[in-house]
Amino acid sequence: MRHVLSATVQNVPGVLAHVSGMLASRGYNIDSLAVGETEDPHFSRMTFVLRGDDRVLDQVRRQLEKIVTVVRVDDISSRNYVERDLLLIKIAALAGPARAEIKELADIFRGHIIDVAADSVIVELSGTEKKLEGFVEVMRPHGILELVRTGRIAMVRGSPPTRETTEAADGARPADSAPVGESLA
């Protein structure tokens, strides 16, 4: 089973190495990993995609929660969420019909040509994993010169009250979260 985990971590040097090293040392394979700063510059969000049963998921969560710089871990795969990957793909394309066809296909997939050279174009495309894989397949006959993808990012849909916002309104701090600079250890 595929699991999407979202971890809020302190935005300090070494967190990515620590987290990925912990997962690797225990034999967990990460299918996708993306990290970026959140709305609060003191924290980053790590989005992992892992495969395994519920036992594996529970072990991964427990191990992540032991890391001092990890503030919170959520399994969002069972919730209603949006996920996206980003793809940059350089395709062989001389001016003329081939380039026009690539532009048309990029438009169909809601992609954008972001660079044009004499013999190639670079297309930027975001979407689900299936969408990106579909675009790559239709570009193969044109000649893929280079391809790079981000890891998956994901966010739960809507804005239902969470425990944090409910308790924050009451002046309480959730037991499993720590203010900036404090650890949960």
**Stretch (H or E) spanning 9:** strand 2-10
pLDDT at 139: 98
CATH 3.30.70.1150 maps onto the chain at 82-153
Whether 79 contacts 3, CB under 8 Å: no
98-157: pLDDT as tens digits = 999 999 999 999 999 999 999 999 999 999 999 999 999 999 999 999 999 999 999 999
Superfamily name with CATH number, domain 2-79: ACT domain (3.30.70.260)
CATH 3.30.70.260 maps onto the chain at 2-79
Question: Spelled out in words, what is the top-level CATH class assigned to the domain 82-153?
Answer: alpha beta
Q: Helix 97-108 and helix 129-139: axis angle, to 10°?
A: 170
Alpha carbon 100 to its chain's center: 31
Closest CA to 47 of 22, 72, 12, 80: 72
* Pairwise CA distance, residues 18 & 128, whole Å: 28
CB atoms inside a 10 Å sphere around CB 60: 23
